[in-house]
Amino acid sequence: MHEMSICESILQIMEDQAQAQNFTKIEKVRLEIGPFSGVELEALRFGFEVVTRNTLAENCVLEIIETKGQAWCMECADTVQIIERYEACPKCGGHQLQVSSGDELRIKDMEVN
């Protein structure tokens, strides 16, 4: 379950920011996660709750913003939305797609005290 190590990394980033920006409590964190990131969302939620116990992020609300997958179709020269990484272009049916978004996993913002 690599989600636990992802949660530990997120906590480390939050603690580093708390020290750098002089805050003591994190109320809410918003993550942007794409469909190709390889992250199991329920496992991430569980891991986040476990990892943040007895930290400045204890009881922090975890909000996950699921982003869309997009790709550039070389055949129809357009950006298209895709659900799976290796699917055909929904416009022209071509298979020459270059994924341009959907693999992100990042902290969008935090609400702190």
CA angle 34, 20, 23 (to 5 degrees): 85
Tokens encoding 10: 């997120």
Tokens encoding 61: 């609300």
Look at residues 58, 50, 54, 55 and name the one whose alpha carbon lies nearest to residue 28. Answer: 58
pTM, two decimals, is 0.88
Neighbours of 109 (CB within 10 A): 11
Determine the Cα–Cα distance for residues 51 and 10; give it in Å rounded to an integer. Answer: 10
DSSP 64-105: EEEPPEEEEETTTTEEEEESSTTPPPTTT----EEEEES--E
* pLDDT tens per residue across span 2-35: 999 999 999 999 999 999 999 999 999 999 999 9
Which region holds residue 69: left if phi is over 0, alpha if psi is between -120 and 50, else beta?
A: beta
* pLDDT tens per residue across span 63-97: 999 999 999 999 999 999 999 989 999 999 999 99
